[in-house]
Amino acid sequence: MNAVLEQISKIGIVPVVKIDRAEDALPLAKALCAGGLPCAEVTFRTDAAAEAIKIMTTNFPDMCVGAGTVLNAEQVDAAVEPKVAGMKSKGSNVAGNANVLIFPDLNSGNIGYKLVQRLARAEAYGPVTQGLKRPVNDLSRGCVAEDIVGVVAITCLQA
């Protein structure tokens, strides 16, 4: 398991935050770290997101800060392509190395993971739900036996 996932696993929760003003990032990061949650997913729903990530990671280098709710192709590049991330998300400790993508809604997530699965011939499971009292996950109508086994394994790990 890589260091970021290991850290998130130990914490057990990742606060998802929408930051409208970049200057709010510093007090937010300070409060999260002081409260024992040295991690955050900053949604890209506002223009302040990239600057907020930079502020948080610069001032709290041990904090695990990620980009979420990616809304367009440019933001995807910043999340997964190291050269683009170096220009657009300087200071982010996951920029260019993202291996988990978080979508703004179920439909977008279904489309995204199916595209990756079919075009890249990759193993892709989902959608994986979080935040419920008990583990619940979904299978697409087009799933095959291997998809069922993978989602059942993920669901068992969530229990």
Question: Domain count of the chain?
Answer: 2
Are 70 and 110 members of one domain?
no
| 120 or 42, which is more confident | 42
Q: Of 62, 88, 114, which one is at a domain's C-terminal end?
A: 88
Q: Are strands 64-68 and 16-17 parallel, antiparallel or unpaired?
A: unpaired
Are 7 and 70 members of one domain?
yes
**pLDDT given at position 85:** 60
Are 15 and 67 members of one domain?
yes
Q: Alpha carbon of 71 to those of 47, 128, 135, 141, 147: distances in Å? A: 11, 19, 27, 26, 26
Are 19 and 64 members of one domain?
yes
pTM score of the predicted model: 0.52
Q: What is the CATH number of the domain that holds 63?
A: 3.20.20.70
Q: How many residues does the chain have?
A: 159
Are 77 and 110 members of one domain?
no
39-67 pLDDT per residue, tens: 888 887 888 888 888 899 889 988 888 77
Q: Is residue 94 part of a domain?
A: no
Q: Is residue 129 part of a domain?
A: yes
Q: What percent of the chain has pLDDT over 70?
A: 73
Q: Is residue 96 part of a domain?
A: no
Q: How confident is the model at residue 16 (pLDDT cuts 50, 70, 90)?
A: confident
Are 55 and 132 members of one domain?
no
Are 68 and 16 members of one domain?
yes
Are 60 and 133 members of one domain?
no
Residue-wise DSSP of 63-80: SEEEEES--SHHHHHHHH
Q: Of 88, 118, 142, which one is at a domain's C-terminal end?
A: 88
Other CB atoms within a 10 A radius of the CB of residue 37 amount to: 16
**Residue numbers of the domain that contains 41:** 3-88
123-144 pLDDT per residue, tens: 777 777 777 788 888 887 778 8
